[in-house]
Amino acid sequence: MPLALRLSFLTLASILLFAANEPLSASPLPPPAGGVISGVIEDSTTKETLVGATISVKGTRLGTYTNKGGYFSLSNVPAGDRIIVVSSIGYLRKEIPIKVVEGGSQKLRVEMVQASIDAQEVAVIADREEDKRQINISQVNIPMQQIQSMRIGGESDIFRALQMLPGVLTSSQISSGLYIRGGSPDQNLVLLDGMTVYNPTHLFGFISAFNSDAVKDVDLIKGGFPAEFGGRMSAVLNITQKDGNRDRVEGLIGLGLISSRASIQGPLGSGSWFIGARRTYLDLVLGLIPDDPASPFPNFNFYDINAKITQNLSDDDKISLSGFFTNDALSLEQPGLLFNIGIGNRAGALRWSHIYGDDLFSVVTVSGSRYQNGFDGNNSGFEFSIANSIFDYSLKSEFEWFASDAITVKTGYEGTLYNFTYEQNFSGTNEPNASQADAVFKLDIWDNIHAVFGQFNWQVTDLLSMQAGIRGSYWSLSSTTTVDPRMALRYQLFDGVAIKAAWGIYHQYLRLAAAPDFSFFDTWLPTDMTVPAGRSDHYIFAVETKPFDNITLNVDLYYKVLRNINELRSGATRTRNVDEVFFVGNGEAYGAEIFLQKSSGRLTGWIGYALGWVNARFDSVNRGNEFRPKYDRRHDFKVTALYALSERWDLGASFIFQTGQSYTGATSQLNGSMPDWDNGIIVTIPSQRWGLRLPASHQLNLNVNYKTTLFELPFMIMLDVYNVYSRRDIWFRFYDTSKEVPTVTDVRLLPILPTISFELKF
């Protein structure tokens, strides 16, 4: 029996054993007594529920966090007069006196008041009684205020903010793909209100498709994620959209260099609504510029829309309907050549949250997500087209049981019906005849995946907590069953110092055919019978400290084994199976990350440093020799800071310094020829794949916000300076062999780019 399978069974047996012995094992803790306090924490103004707020009982060690629905439950609260302390970053700490009755239960709805800058320093102090059941290894939560202050060209961008975290790399400065601890972007599970987003970028990968105005919470788990998440090998990006203001109608209009945006939200029935949209004006600007008919400008535009309706059907029932739409379109029409490219996401989710009694919380999500791209054109009368799409219809049902103040159990089912389509027509005509039929290829695969998971968080003793889980999945197309055990431990060494460890197996079914630098013809494919499923094993050790008030310092060490990963078969023009699209190989990633974060107060931000290695080996790549992928960077140092100078002025800065990007050198040049050619062309013979380094990459960006009023409405002027000292990093280096003497040519990235943008709230 393989080692992994043995470990799986061992873990499953351990979980069952723990579950069976739970009352006995919990004996070191106080016997169950007292009452139960549960409820919802929300913003006093907008009535938006708050994720990750801390709730503790003063004078005890009891404490917990609110979940993604803003819900919490504390059991075994000692009877008597108690004070409940609630705090959340950016809000005034609140103390609520309550009377707890033995065996009784109380539900609270706590409204938190936003803190002024001066008050923020004290607002979140003394959250010592945190929920030790939550292990949260390698998990980072960036406050939205900070994400919104990290802008390029006036655009705040969630992915750009995430790229400032240590261990999160990119293939280049202008790519928004997230390479996390050696994993490629397709190995990240990107969730928006529970729906999977398959291509979260605009401008062919330059900026993310998430409008930060519409987002309430961003959680990134860089590894060791629990069993409730599956289907990806590397990381989880879990984004929650705003519910909308339940109190009054408000809106926002923003004008930036790349796009303009608007959002509006307000109360509706027993809930709220929110709609936000962005659109670029590149096409409108280009339309005003007279162009040369022989060499016209391409026409380009993108837009995205986020929408959400939330209704509280009762104190215990909440439903929300979320939608997410994006579209990028590029067209070019010039003599002899015309083409159109369309890329877009359509996703929607209906989510029902229900509270059963005091300690059981459930969420049922029905979602649909479609990503499609298409390319069609006409080259001198030769018509061609390529189109592909992935449709995902999912049902996810999960139950969270706050069994005691020491144990939380989460279990659920996730089923997805997939439809992959691919259509390629290189026949030269849209209506091919019989002799041209072979140039038309259509793929239409229906597949379904079913997964069940169970996990529990158990505070074994006052110092030791553990999280164990298991996820079983069945993939119908390849008739594969996988079992992924996962485990994490947390031990409180001293006050403010905890050590954590995690291990887990992660399988991935989907594969993405994409270029590393551009999101152009991204094609999602299933794992069919011709290739094995991808798999990674995560080993993580972390030390988490709080050296000062409001400051956390985490050190993570990780080792990741990567099996059956992809490398696109370059130049393949006629593919019928997945193994004809990809080379399949193995790899490993390991490294260390240091992350110092200050989340509240006048000065917020972080300093991050990562030291990492990524290696890969494919039989048919680099002549079978090991190589490091392009995005491997040995050192990765990042600093971000946001300083609230006054109620009117905010200053922000971000700095990045990384080992240079990898590129492939050459050992010599050859002459390649075709019949009837007189001279032939020069082709370089590559050396070690990605074996050389470009110069180190570094950049400083500055932001200044000035808050004032316009027509008595809140108005903000935002000045951004991108690449302050105009360091033009090399995007890529290549050997130009088109002329008689080959030359080494560097293509450089953007110079300094100052921009001004505006934001009006009403």
Sites for another protein among residues 625-654 (CB under 8 A):
634-635, 637
- By beta-carbon proximity to another protein, the closer residue of 119 and 639 is 639
Query: What is the DSSP pairing of strand 534-548 with strand 551-568?
Result: antiparallel
**Residue 145 Cβ, how far from another protein at the closest point, in Å?**
23
Query: DSSP class of residue 437?
Result: G
Decide: 387 and 425 in contact? Cβ < 8 Å.
no
Question: Cα–Cα–Cα angle for 729, 153, 221, nearest 5°?
Answer: 75
**Residue 335 Cβ, how far from another protein at the closest point, in Å?**
4
Sole window of 251-259, 398-406, 414-422, 661-669 interacting with another protein (rule: CB under 8 A): 661-669
Distance between CA atoms of 75 and 453, rounded to whole angstroms? 24
> What residues contact residue 19 under an 8 Å CB cut-off, 6+ apart?
456
DSSP string, 112-153: EPBPPHHHHHHHTTT--S--TT---TTEEE--HHHHHH-EET
Is 681 a residue that touches another protein (CB under 8 A)? yes
- By beta-carbon proximity to another protein, the closer residue of 370 and 693 is 693
Is 21 a residue that touches another protein (CB under 8 A)? no
Look up residue 406 and give its two tokens.
């020491």
**Residue 309 Cβ, how far from another protein at the closest point, in Å?**
46
Q: Which of 1, 3, 24, 674 binds another protein (CB under 8 A)?
A: 674
Decide: 37 and 402 in contact? Cβ < 8 Å.
no
Distance between CA atoms of 54 and 410, rounded to whole angstroms? 20
Q: Which of 262, 321, 338, 568 binds another protein (CB under 8 A)?
A: 338
Distance between CA atoms of 90 and 218, rounded to whole angstroms? 16
> What residues contact residue 675 under an 8 Å CB cut-off, 6+ apart?
none
Within 390-449, the residues that bind another protein by CB under 8 A are 426-429, 432-433, 435-439
Is 603 a residue that touches another protein (CB under 8 A)? no
Within 193-232, the residues that bind another protein by CB under 8 A are none
**Residue 500 Cβ, how far from another protein at the closest point, in Å?**
19
> What residues contact residue 284 under an 8 Å CB cut-off, 6+ apart?
none
Residue 430, classed as helix, strand or coil, is coil
- By beta-carbon proximity to another protein, the closer residue of 709 and 743 is 743
**Residue 684 Cβ, how far from another protein at the closest point, in Å?**
5
3-state secondary structure 46-68: CCCECCCCEEEECCCCCEEECCC
Is 331 a residue that touches another protein (CB under 8 A)? no
| Dihedral (CA of 739, 742, 743, 749) sign | positive
Is 31 a residue that touches another protein (CB under 8 A)? no
Is 664 a residue that touches another protein (CB under 8 A)? yes
Q: Which of 742, 750, 755, 758 binds another protein (CB under 8 A)?
A: 742
Site size toward another protein, by CB under 8 A: 84
Distance between CA atoms of 351 and 345, rounded to whole angstroms? 19
- By beta-carbon proximity to another protein, the closer residue of 506 and 595 is 595
Within 555-584, the residues that bind another protein by CB under 8 A are 569-571, 573-574
Q: Which of 292, 495, 676, 712 binds another protein (CB under 8 A)?
A: 676
Q: 17 - beta bridge partners?
A: none
Is 597 a residue that touches another protein (CB under 8 A)? no
**Residue 556 Cβ, how far from another protein at the closest point, in Å?**
14
- By beta-carbon proximity to another protein, the closer residue of 31 and 336 is 336
Q: Which of 30, 446, 743, 754 binds another protein (CB under 8 A)?
A: 743
Within 257-316, the residues that bind another protein by CB under 8 A are 294
| Dihedral (CA of 546, 42, 135, 612) sign | negative
Q: Which of 164, 553, 562, 718 binds another protein (CB under 8 A)?
A: 553
Q: What's the count of helices (H) and strands (E) in the chain, helices before strands?
A: 7, 48
Decide: 81 and 60 in contact? Cβ < 8 Å.
no
**Residue 437 Cβ, how far from another protein at the closest point, in Å?**
8
Q: Which of 710, 744, 752, 756 binds another protein (CB under 8 A)?
A: 744
**Residue 679 Cβ, how far from another protein at the closest point, in Å?**
5
- By beta-carbon proximity to another protein, the closer residue of 113 and 641 is 641
Within 707-736, the residues that bind another protein by CB under 8 A are 733-736
Query: What is the DSSP pairing of strand 235-241 with strand 188-192?
Result: parallel
